[in-house]
Amino acid sequence: MELNFGTNSLDNFCSDQDGLSLKPLRCPAPFLLKTYDLLEEGSEEKDGIKIVSWNEEGNGFVVWSPAEFSELILPRYFKHNNFSSFIRQLNTYGFKKTSSKIWEFKHEKFQKGCRHMLVEINRKKCEPSVFPQYLKSCSEENAMTSSSVEESINNHEILMEENKNLKKERLELQMQIAECKALEMKLLDCLSQYMDTSQNKVRRL
């Protein structure tokens, strides 16, 4: 009896050197593919201002405008608009924020034109230590402290950015409320003038 698997069923498998077994091919994480695609599709801009793009070297990317990135880009690719969540995802895959002045992120396997390297990026695994706390070496404790400090700094920057965005939204809402109040006053004035005119006409009759 002849078995016909078809070519499509073999696309996701590769054989070992002896040709005796088939192994599934690894695929990059969807998060990495979407992040790479949004950069490869071209620098996103709004009103001539960059939103997100590769850096000049192509070994990292920069979110130039977190507010517009959250509003326009994230919903298109990730179905949410939470910039903090996006950064947490980057952290879980080992990306590093490289500057305190701009939102630039790098990973040695995440580079422009090197989509094939995405499969080599693995999600961090948090494995509990088999040693009691008091047996941990000083170097390990220092490393943990340094990591905690770096994470705290990143979280602080994220909160500061979100606070800035909230202040901006509050100011816009206040301006809209002021415009509505001004329009309301104009309408009341027009209504008052109309009533006065109508009453004068009635008196003349």
Task: Kindly indicate the confidence band of residue 173, based on its pLDDT and cuts at 50, 70 and 90.
Answer: confident
Q: Is the pLDDT of residue 84 over 80?
A: yes
The rounded percent of the chain whose pLDDT value lies above 70 is: 68
Q: By the 8 A CB rule, do 28 and 118 touch?
A: yes
Which 8-state DSSP code applies to residue 58? S
More confident residue, 124 or 148: 124
Q: Choose the weakest-confidence range: 7-11, 50-54, 81-85, 163-167.
A: 7-11
Q: Is the pLDDT of residue 62 over 60?
A: yes
Average pLDDT of every residue of the chain:
77
Query: At CA 37, angle to CA 33 and CA 38, rounded to 5?
Result: 125
Per the listing, tokens 């490393």 go with 143
Mean pLDDT for 177-201 is 84
Q: What is the pLDDT of residues 71-83, one digit of tens each?
A: 889 998 998 889 9
Question: What per-residue confidence (pLDDT) applies to 18?
Answer: 46
Residue 62's H or E segment, with its range, is strand 60-63
Per the listing, tokens 């490869």 go with 40
What is the secondary structure of 134-201 as a DSSP string?
A: GGS-HHHHHHHHHHHHHHHHHHHHHHHHHHHHHHHHHHHHHHHHHHHHHHHHHHHHHHHHHHHHHHHH
Question: What per-residue confidence (pLDDT) applies to 63?
Answer: 93
User: Residues near 158 by Cβ (< 8 Å), separated by ≥ 6?
Assistant: 83, 84, 87
Question: What per-residue confidence (pLDDT) applies to 30?
Answer: 92
- The Cα–Cα gap between 36 and 148 comes to 28
Q: By the 8 A CB rule, do 96 and 147 touch?
A: no
- The Cα–Cα gap between 139 and 146 comes to 10
Q: Choose the weakest-confidence range: 46-50, 75-79, 97-101, 121-125.
A: 46-50
CB atoms closer than 10 angstroms to residue 119? 14
Q: By the 8 A CB rule, do 10 and 25 touch?
A: no
Q: Is the CA virtual torsion 77, 83, 88, 91 positive or negative?
A: positive
More confident residue, 42 or 2: 42
